[in-house]
Chains A and B, each alone.
Chain A
Amino acid sequence: DIQMTQSPSSVSASVGDRVTITCRASQSISSYLNWYQQKPGKAPQLLIHAASSLQSGVPSRFSGSGSGTDFTLSISSLQPEDFATYFCQQSYITPRTFGQGTKLENK
């Protein structure tokens, strides 16, 4: 299985800050990397697919980059509704695997 490792596991930030989360794959996955946001008690919501393509309806302050093994999710100016847990997921091969999550907390 491809192992997905996110860093940091948690991060504290304030409204208006820029935040970057990193995801590393245990082998090359080309651009088959997706990002999700999950709020407590809710299902994950797709933010970014194919490493850098913004899902329809997702605010443009979210962006993704990377290819191969190293990827980043950036939020340009944090809004109150962005405090949540973020997961990366590879779709290069099955079994599909997810990172362990990064919890974004309000400082």
Chain B
Amino acid sequence: QVELQESGPGLVKPSETLSLTCTVSGGSISGYYWTWIRQPPGKGIEWIGYIYYSGGTNYNPSLKSRVTISVDTSKNQFSLILRSVTAADTAVYYCARDATRGGDFDYWGQGTLVTVSS
């Protein structure tokens, strides 16, 4: 059974950088696209972007200038960096696996709340 677990600081100051890591267990990171998704409290869901296990990326244009997603296959991990954060970036951040059959997300992490506040 594939499991994903997000880790990283729960509080980030405005204008600083948000950094999260997703650790994949129970399966290999190879052969799949790996995705970051966020959900502000009480609001809808926003796709941030994905990375293929070999390193190719695709980002949401609304965040592209501030986002970097990277992968470390030796650790079965992938990571999210979001620069110059504001209060609008406060959200639950999820990592998820793209099933690759058609862009649905079949496994998700539990999510981690990141609050942007001084």
- A residues whose Cβ falls under 8 Å from a Cβ of B: 32, 34, 36, 42-46, 49-50, 55, 87, 89, 91-92, 94-101
Q: In the bound complex, do residue A89 and residue B104 qualify as a contact, i.e. CB atoms below 8 Å apart?
A: yes
Interface of A is mostly: loop
B104 proximity list for chain A (CB < 8 A): 34, 46, 49-50, 89, 91
Report B114 CB to chain A, min CB distance, Å. Answer: 15
Among residues 83 to 118 in chain B, which have CB atoms less than 8 Å away from a CB atom of chain A?
94, 96, 99, 101-106, 108-111
Give how many A-B residue pairs fall within 8 Å (CB-CB). 60
Q: In the bound complex, do residue A49 and residue B102 qualify as a contact, i.e. CB atoms below 8 Å apart?
A: yes
Q: In the bound complex, do residue B94 and residue A95 qualify as a contact, i.e. CB atoms below 8 Å apart?
A: no
Among B45, B96, B99, B109, the residue within 8 A (CB) of A98 is B45
The answer to whether B31 has its CB under 8 Å from any CB of chain A is no
A45 proximity list for chain B (CB < 8 A): 108
Most buried by B among A34, A36, A96: A96
